Amino acid sequence: MSVGMFCYQCEQTAKGTGCVVQGVCGKDPESSALQDLLVLAVKGIGWYARLAAEKGARDRSIGVFTARALFSTITNVNFDPARLEGLIREAGRVKGAARELAAGAGAVFPSSIPASAAWEPAGTRADLLSRAPGADLRADRPGADDLRSLEHLLLFGLKGVAAYADHAHILGSDSDAVFDYLHRALAVLAEGRSGAGELTTLVLECGKVNIDAMELLSQAHRARFGVPVPTPVSLGTREGPAIIVSGHDLLDLEELLEQTEGTGVNVYTHGEMLPAHGYPRLKGHPHLAGHYGTAWQNQQREFAAAPAAVLMTTNCIQRPAAAYADRIFTTGLVAWPGVAHVPDRAGGRQKDFSAVIAKAKSLPGFHDAPGKTITAGFGHEAVLGVAEKVIAAVKSGAIRRFFLIGGCDGAKPGRNYYTRFAELVPKDCVILTLACGKFRFHTLDAGDIGGIPRLLDMGQCNDAYSAVRVAQALAGAFGCLPAREGVLSGDRDVDRHRQLSGLLVRERGGGGKLCREVLGGCGDHQGDGVAVVSSRLVFVASSDLVQCIVSDALG
Ligand code: SF4
Ligand code: SF4
């Protein structure tokens, strides 16, 4: 059946106002409507789960599902109507479990419950879609544009938190506090009657909870893969069959590396997988041969040119071009109709990547082609490990300032603000970077300042916590920002959701100096609107702001 569409959750959105016919990302109206319905269903889960938590009753599997479902609706993750329909039906079952949990704990339900809590996703897909108009974001808070905007800012922020929480869960780390917050905020959205004050408080709290979720993931990464260390990474290729792994899921990469051991198949990272080279447990595999290509927005050209199999572990997938449609695989939450999908782990076993490996062996593979070498793996431990040297360099004036250029990146041709920014940073300043934006300048020969590299790659958007830790340390050393919450609120999204989803930059006292106040939307892609600031540390990104922020920061 034909359905309407409205999505404005990322910076790519059509005309800057909303995708209403077809998503610029490739999302079609049916997938968009199903994602809206999934969000509606999750609001209902949150409404019951909050009541249960208020009575002290929790079931982690409910929080795990909430995170998975929200993550599935982030930009460039799930384009497959069949899988989205499956998630909606599962949401109906999870909501029933949340309702029973709350009732069993003694919660008293009001006589009037929100529509999202009352909705039972039954019937055919057409039956589900007939409910879609009520789930359209434009239907929220009729006649109250500001409140609708606040609700959606909160929703997009929750999606970012959910992405971090899901990644942490995959590595065995969950947080009841994070799940409780997700459910509490979703319950408020389900009721749709909060004022600006309560919504603003929840948006700001989203930033704090997001840092907690990032910390959880950072610790989970280190517990599983070791502490990242600066590591040279080849951008060239080796003779032989190959698999290119993109996305963010390091556990998928580890299992693939183990399953390709001794097979003659080389494994290359792509996009946000680049930081994997810094982790001791991953870099120890000799057939982790290097990094291929650049960022997500170049995948159609880069995958088409690679005589190799491709594995997308999470976002950001684009419509597979015909040239590689039969050799690209998805796994985890990422999905595209017609693309072979590697199922989830079951029964304590690894995922089975044999089909990907077989495909790689059937292809010509790469030839020996040496390439430039770059360095990855500057997590907060590596940077803070030379803190005394850094502080001395700042005090002597050798280092004037630090810039963090972090975030996703857009696909619009000619986009070059990250490149411009990196080029504009003076030679006595250091650039910290993370996420896809770095591919605009990752091969820049930035040199060093007294042995301290001027370009420090801190990792994925999933590693934004490292930047927070460094910001905290610098703030502490120079007394320029309050310790924790003053540095970054919100995020990711930049991630588009994940990165800087709800990026709030606010003026801070105590010696901190604010250049600019920015309230960013979903960072999910395109993390424009990063930004913060003290006299020594500037978080940036946004095409129009680049020049002025640099000048403001340099004063
Ligand atoms: S995710 Fe972004 S590009 Fe895709 S439909 Fe939504 S606003 Fe448009
Ligand atoms: S950094 Fe952002 S744009 Fe890049 S792959 Fe991750 S989510 Fe996508």
DSSP result, 221-246: HHHHH-----EEEE-SB-SB-EEEEE
Which is the closest atom of ligand 2 to the Cα of 409?
Answer: 3
- Per-residue confidence at 284, pLDDT binned at 50, 70, 90? very high
Side-chain-side CA neighbours of 131 within 13 Å: the count stands at 23
CA of 398 to the centre of ligand 1 (A): 44
Whether 414 shows a pLDDT value over 90: the answer reads no
**Interatomic CA distance for residues 524 and 411, integer angstroms:** 13
- Picking from 160-169, 325-334, 520-529, which range would have the lowest pLDDT averaged per residue? 520-529
Q: What is the pLDDT of residue 162?
A: 97
Greatest mean pLDDT among 279-293, 414-428, 499-513 lies in 279-293
Predicted confidence (pLDDT) at residue 277 exceeds the cutoff of 80 = yes
Residue nearest to atom 5 of ligand 1 (CA): 23
Atom of ligand 1 nearest to the CA of 23: 5
Cβ neighbours around 6 below 10 Å, total:
17
The answer to whether the CB of 300 falls within 8 A of the CB of 247 is no
* pLDDT tens per residue across span 465-502: 898 888 888 878 877 643 333 322 223 333 344 443 33
| Nearest protein Cα to ligand 2, atom 7 | 495
Q: Is the pLDDT of residue 519 over 70?
A: no
Ligand 2, closest atom to CA 461?
A: 1
Query: 205: burial class by Cβ within 10 Å (0-12, 13-18, 19+)?
Result: middle
48-74 pLDDT, tens digit per residue, is 999 999 999 999 999 999 999 999 999
Give the whole-angstrom CA distance, residue 517 versus residue 509. Answer: 14
Ligand 1 pocket mutation, candidates 25, 159, 317, 528, criterion most atoms within 8 A of CB: 25
DSSP labels for 31-68? HHHHHHHHHHHHHHHHHHHHHHHHTT---HHHHHHHHH
Q: Which atom of ligand 2 is nearest to the CA of 316?
A: 8
200 band by pLDDT with thresholds 50, 70 and 90 = very high
Across 396-423, average pLDDT: 86
CA of 513 to the centre of ligand 2 (A): 30
pLDDT at residue 551 is higher than 70: no
Kindly give the distance from the C-alpha atom of residue 331 to the centroid of ligand 1, in angstroms, as a whole number. 21
Q: How far does residue 289's CA lie from ligand 1's centre (Å)?
A: 34
**Torsion 544-547-553-555 (CA) sign:** negative
Q: What is the pLDDT of residues 209-266, one digit of tens each?
A: 998 999 999 999 999 999 999 999 999 999 999 999 999 999 999 999 999 999 999 9
From 291, 463, 496, 500, the mutation candidate for ligand 2 (largest count of ligand atoms within 8 A of CB) is 496
Q: How far apart are CA 555 and CA 537, in angstroms?
A: 13
Instruction: Please give the C-alpha separations between residue 182 and each of 45, 75, 152, 242, 290, in angstroms, as whole numbers.
Output: 10, 19, 14, 40, 38
Any residues with Cβ below 6 Å from ligand 1, and which? Answer: 7-10, 12-13, 19, 23-25, 27, 75
Atom of ligand 1 nearest to the CA of 22: 5
Query: What is the distance in A from the centroid of ligand 1 to the CA of 102?
Result: 35
Q: Is the pTM of this model over 0.85?
A: yes
**164-173, 258-267, 437-446, 487-496: least confidently modelled range:** 487-496
Q: How far apart are CA 192 and CA 439, in angstroms?
A: 40
Question: How confident is the model over 99-121, as a mean pLDDT?
Answer: 97
Preceding amide of 316 cis, omega within 30: yes
CB proximity list for 369: less than 8 A, separation 6 or greater: 236, 237
What is the SS3 assignment for 434?
strand
Cα–ligand 2 centroid distance for 146 (angstroms): 29
74, 315 Cβ separation under 8 angstroms: yes
For strand 266-269 and strand 429-434, is the pairing parallel, antiparallel, or unpaired?
unpaired
Atom from ligand 2 closest to the CA of residue 314: 5
Give me the domains of the chain, ranges plus CATH numbers.
Answer: 14-223 (1.20.1270.20), 231-361 (3.40.50.2030), 380-554 (3.40.50)
Give the closest residue to 431 by CA, choosing from 454, 453, 450.
454
Q: Is the dihedral of CA 495, 498, 504, 508 positive or negative?
A: negative
At 325, is the pLDDT very low, low, confident or very high (cuts 50, 70, 90)? very high
Ligand 2: nearest atom to the Cα of 295: 4
- Round the average pLDDT of the chain to a whole number and report it: 87
In the beta sheet, which residues pair with residue 503?
520
pLDDT confidence band for 409 (50 / 70 / 90): confident
- Does residue 135 carry a pLDDT above 60? yes
**Residue nearest ligand 1's atom 2 by CA:** 10
Has residue 23 got a pLDDT over 70? yes
Distance 245 CA to ligand 1 centre (A): 24
Q: How far apart are the first and last CA of the chain?
A: 57
Query: Own/partner pairs for 197-204, CB < 8 Å, 24+ apart?
Result: 199/147, 199/150, 199/151, 199/154, 200/150, 202/154, 203/150, 203/153, 203/154, 203/157, 203/490, 203/502, 203/504, 204/489, 204/504
DSSP sequence for 291-333:
E-S--GGGHHHHHHT-SSEEEE-SS---PPPTTTTTSEEEETT
Axis crossing angle, helix 29-54 with helix 81-104, rounded to the nearest 10 = 10
Q: How far apart are CA 117 and CA 95, in angstroms?
A: 8
Q: Is 176 helix (H, G, I), strand (E, B) or coil?
A: helix
Percent above pLDDT 70 for the chain? 86
For ligand 2, the distance from its centroid to the CA atom of residue 198, given in whole angstroms, is: 31
In the predicted structure, residue 524 carries a pLDDT above the cut 60:
no
Is it the case that residue 76 has pLDDT exceeding 60? yes
Give the Å distance between the CA of 436 and the centre of ligand 2.
5
Which residues sit with their C-beta closer than 6 Å to ligand 2? 248, 271-272, 295-296, 315-316, 408-409, 435-436, 461, 495-496, 498, 525
- The residue with greater pLDDT, 378 or 512, is 378
- 461: CA distance to ligand 2 center in Å? 7
Percent of the chain with pLDDT over 90: 75
> Taking Cα atoms as reference points, which of 338, 541, 305, 324 lies closest to residue 433?
541
Distance, CA of 494 to CA of 354 (rounded, Å): 34
- Tell the residue nearest (CA) to atom 3 of ligand 2: 408
C-alpha distances out from residue 313 to 183, 222, 478, Å? 26, 19, 40
Compute and round to an integer the Cα radius of gyration of the chain: 23
User: Measured in angstroms, how far is the CA atom of residue 258 from the centroid of ligand 1?
Assistant: 36
